[in-house]
Amino acid sequence: MKDREAVFLPILTGAIVLIVWHVSVLLTHTTIFPSPADVWKGIGELVRRGLLLSYSRDSLFRVGSGYLLGVILAIPLGITLGWYKELSDAFNPVIQMLRPISPLAWMPLAIIWFGVSELAPIFLIFLASFFSILIATINGVRNLPPMYVQAGRNFGLTPAALFRRVIFPAILPRVLTGLRIALGIAWLVVVAAEMIAVNSGLGYLIIDSRNAGKRYDLVVAGMILIGLIGLALDILVRRAEKLKAVRWGFRAG
């Protein structure tokens, strides 16, 4: 029953939204804002022109590259800073100073450094991902119950085994929370970056459709595609929380 509700309720909500949207367009007699049917036709046009797949692929590539780079650098650094308090105290002022700066504020510098190329949005996405993952990892290590570490040492675990079998599983839930937040921010940033720094991707689709003929059907189609892909990415991260190692970490925390 719960599985059916989990599928039925979102479908019902989506249907209600579409009906309200369609009726609102009819009642207002607007000639600017598109109806659901107009947006559907716009998506079909994108498919026929081969833009739907190529623009979605370009956006996902940029997000994947910047996000993966953030994961690779932030998790080891976060574990190190969380474990060694002296290092954390030394780097914390710099981290807390840079963390509140919006990744989009770096856009002028990114264009100066990397030009109008793939590297500019990837750099912005890296910044958007890095600090969320870093802070979540640091907090995970700092909030690790000392009894687990002591128990592992009492059983004679080597440092590598202690990290693999105790520390990392215990901090994994917090790390996954950071990964999930970072992925959402990264997806927001790529859309904004593509409106300025590149000439492809879903963000570029929106701004180009607005400027070239005021194609608001394609603008809304791009927005819906961004939302659907963001939802799919969030579902993937949520599924990772059901893995056996992660469930151990939740119980440990």
Average pLDDT over residues 95-112: 89
Confidence of residue 127 (pLDDT cuts 50, 70, 90): very high
Q: What is the CATH number of domain 31-252?
A: 1.10.3720.10
219-228 tens-digit pLDDT: 999 999 998 9
Average pLDDT over residues 221-237: 88
| Residue whose entry in the numeric block shows the structure tokens 């607005």 | 210
pLDDT of 245 > 60? The answer is no
Query: Ranked by mean pLDDT, which of 158-172, 183-197, 213-227 comes out on top?
Result: 213-227
pLDDT of 248 > 70? The answer is no
52-87 tens-digit pLDDT: 899 999 999 999 999 999 999 999 999 999 888 888
pLDDT given for residue 210 in this prediction: 85
Structure tokens belonging to residue 169: 């599983």
For the chain, give the longest Cα–Cα distance.
Answer: 75
The CA-to-CA distance between both ends of the chain, in Å, stands at 30
The helix/strand/coil state of 142 is helix
Specify the range with the lowest mean pLDDT, choosing from 55-64, 112-121, 142-151.
Answer: 142-151
Answer for the pair 59, 242: CB distance below 8 angstroms, yes or no. no
Specify the range with the lowest mean pLDDT, choosing from 129-138, 153-162, 215-224.
Answer: 153-162
Average pLDDT over residues 236-248: 66
How many C-beta neighbours within 10 Å does residue 166 have?
21
What share of the chain in percent tops pLDDT 70?
92
pLDDT of 250 > 50? The answer is no
Confidence of residue 1 (pLDDT cuts 50, 70, 90): low
pTM exceeding 0.85: no
Answer for the pair 200, 161: CB distance below 8 angstroms, yes or no. no
pLDDT given for residue 69 in this prediction: 95
pLDDT given for residue 2 in this prediction: 58
pLDDT of 246 > 70? The answer is no
Higher pLDDT, 64 or 159: 64
